Structure 1
Amino acid sequence: MKVATLVAVAAAALTACSSSDDSSASADFNKADVSFAQDMIPHHRQATEMAALAKTRTDTAAVLELAADIEAAQGPEIDTMTGWLKEWGKDVPADGDDMGGMDHSNMGDDSSSMPGMMSDDQMAELEASSGVAFDQMFLTMMVAHHEGAVQMAKAEQSDGKNAEAKALAGTIRKDQTAEIATMRDLLGS
């Protein structure tokens, strides 16, 4: 009986250690990590909303491919960051929440907490466009949007603590910098 009790206690202790070890890496976070996830989720949501518009507003293969790539990359990143916030016991931005309904548009103004976000008017203008006008507007807006995401990712890499969040920030910087170059080529700039 003593051996069985000892084995049960040892097994319980090992289980507790392994489960806490598994979560300790992702549980190690700071305010910058939380801000990164809470800001990047609505930022990515807007990018995927913009990208989804391309399906019905352009026939340009390069724009359609870019929009599909943006949706394919950023949708799963939203899910990942949502998971972190839940695990950390922090608020997840509600769908459609751009930080309390404030206009965070930033076409060059670095004072915004979410640089590169489009205003409601800009989104409505994009939604109302099609063809060549859509392509031009989509690419121009998405360059600004991506530049904002790169800026936010740089801040996470310098100020964040969570290894997974910093790694995602590195991926965002790399991928979106490459997409910016592609979009500038498509714009001819």
Structure 2
Amino acid sequence: MAVSTEHDTAAPGTETTDETATTGTGRRFGLGWLLGTLAFGLVVGLAAGLLVPRLQTPGDDSPEAGFLRDMSTHHSQAVAMSMIAHANSQDPAIVTLAGDIGLTQQAQIAYMQSWLRDWNLSPTGSQEPMAWMPGSAGSVVNGLMPGMATPDQMAKLREATGRDLDIQFLTLMRAHHLGGIHMDEGVLDLSTEDDVTWLAKGQIAAQQSEISRIDDLLKQLQTT
């Protein structure tokens, strides 16, 4: 039954202190009835998590929780690689890039872990890596998520020096960024949680920019 958007004008001497609404059939409802109806709708909406979705946080097996846990692990390796290059490279441009990546991704880890705590979830879960992303089983090799370096590659990076170190770092980080972007795009397809989508979009933009810097540095190294 539709409620009219127009109010009847009360006849002189019949005004009341309670505002009323009039339906198309002429039946009138007091302000109290309307407020009660709105309150009931609010309660139902809250119970369903529709009107205030922030009152409901992602669950333990949600794509958001899986993404934050996996991306924290993914970022941790990027930070480790960056610290190796920052400490050992003799190229100022690579030292700067490594410092930027390390600081940025460490800060993002702090964001992700904080959100998990806010949701009363453990920083680690029982699911396999990438289980939150449909069709991703083939992208996990020996437990490593997309773009992650193998233990052997990490060991070689630690032992490398000079130009060899620079090339290894840039090559590994480029692959690492591409894998991270793949994960970011995956969660954007699955989530509408504001913090998570904000982070994923920001990471895509930042890592695409860093890939361009990496490509420029690799070209310079290949011509020297």
TM-score after normalising by structure 1 = 0.75
Residue type of the alignment partner of 1:88:
W
3-state secondary structure, aligned to 1:44: helix
Say if 1:76 and 1:56 are closer, same or farther in 2 by CA, change over 3 A: closer
Q: Corresponding residue for 2:80?
A: 49
Residue 73 (structure 2) pairs with residue 33 (structure 1): no
Equivalent residue number for residue 174 of structure 1: 205
Q: Deviations over 1:75-110 (max 9, x none)?
A: 11101100111122222149xxxx79xxxxxxxx95
- Do the aligned partners of 2:148 and 2:179 also contact (CA within 8 Å) in 1? yes
* Structure 1 position 27, deviation (Å): 4.8
Contact 1:25 1:163 survives alignment (8 Å): no
The 8 Å contact of residues 184 and 201 in structure 2, kept in 1 or not, is answered as yes
1:111 corresponds to: 139
Alignment length (residue pairs)? 155
Question: Corresponding residue for 2:168?
Answer: 137
Rounded Cα–Cα distance in structure 1 between residues aligned with 2:154 and 2:191? 31
Question: 1:27, 1:70 → 2: CA distance?
Answer: 33
**Structure with greater contact order relative to length (CA < 8 Å, sep ≥ 6):** 1
Contact map agreement 2:64 2:191 (CA 8 A) in 1: yes
Give the distance between the partners of 2:58 and 2:191, measured in 1 at CA. 7
Partner of 1:62: 93
Displacement of 1:161 after TM fit?
2.9
Where structure 2 has 5 or more consecutive residues not aligned to the other structure, the ranges are 1-51, 130-136
Percent of aligned pairs with the same amino acid: 32
Structure with greater helix share of residues = 1
Distance 2:215 2:109 in 1: 25
Preserved CA contact (<8 Å) 1:27 1:88:
no
Cα shift at 1:150: 0.4
Task: Give the Cα separation in 2 of the matches to 1:152 and 1:186.
Answer: 25
Q: Could you give the per-residue CA deviations for residues 30-58 of structure 1, whole angstroms, max 9, x where no partner exists?
A: 61111110100011110000000113321
Superposition misfits of 4+ residues, deviation over 4 angstroms: none
Q: Which amino acid aligns with 1:90?
A: L
Rounded to whole Å, the distance in 2 between the matches of 1:47 and 1:86 is: 23
For the pair 1:149 / 2:149, whether they are aligned, the reply is no
Preserved contact between residue 26 and residue 162 of structure 1 (Cα < 8 Å): no
The 2-side partners of 1:50 and 1:178 are apart by: 18
TM-score of the aligned structures, taking structure 2 as reference length: 0.64
Q: Between Structure 1 and Structure 2, whose CA radius of gyration is higher?
A: 2
